[in-house]
Amino acid sequence: MNVIWNSLGWFGEAGRWSGPDGIPTRLLEHLWYSLLAFGITVAIALPLGLVLGHLRRGRTAAVAGFLVMSSANAARALPTLGLLILAVIVTTAGDLVPILIPLVALAIPPVLVNTYAGVQQVDAGLRDAAEGMGMTGRQVLARVELPVALPLVLLGLRTALIQIISTATIAAYVGLGGLGRYIVDGYSRQDYDSMAGGAILVIALAIATQLVFAALYRAVVSPGVRPQAPRPRPERPGTKRRAPSAPPARKETLP
Partner 1 sequence: MTALSAAAADGEPLVRWDWISRNLDGSIAEAFREHLVLSFTPVLLGLLIALPLGLACARWSRLYPVVLAATSVLYAVPAIGLFVIFVAFTQLTYTTVIVPLALYTLSVLVPSVVDGLRSVPDHVRQSAEAMGYRPLRRLLGVELPIALPVVMAGLRVATVANISLVSVGALIGIGGLGQLMVTGMKWPGGGFTTPIVVAIVLIILLALVADLLLLLVQRLLTPWARAGRGGGRAARRAAAAKGGGAA
Contact positions with partner 1 (CB under 8 A) in 109-148:
109-110, 113-114, 117
Binding to partner 1 by CB under 8 A, coded x per residue (else -) over 148-187, reads: ----x--xx--xx-xx-xxx-xx--xxx----x--xx--x
DSSP letter (8 states) at residue 141 = I
Quick one: residue 233, left, alpha or beta (phi over 0 = left, psi -120 to 50 = alpha)? beta
Q: Is 251 exposed, middle or buried (0-12, 13-18, 19+ CB in 10 A)?
A: middle
Selected range binding partner 1 among 9-17, 41-49, 92-100, 139-147, rule: CB under 8 A = 92-100
Do 116 and 65 touch, CB atoms closer than 8 A? yes
Q: How far apart are CA 224 and CA 206, in angstroms?
A: 29
Closest contact distance (angstroms) between CB of 26 and partner 1 is 14
Do 42 and 156 touch, CB atoms closer than 8 A? no
Applying CB under 8 A, does 45 fall inside the site for partner 1?
Answer: no
Selected range binding partner 1 among 8-16, 52-60, 68-76, 138-146, rule: CB under 8 A = 68-76
* Residue among 57, 59, 138, 231 that touches partner 1 (CB under 8 A): 231
Applying CB under 8 A, does 81 fall inside the site for partner 1?
Answer: yes
Site for partner 1 in 201-230 (CB under 8 A): 202-203, 206-207, 209-210, 229-230
Do 180 and 171 touch, CB atoms closer than 8 A? yes
Closest contact distance (angstroms) between CB of 52 and partner 1 is 14
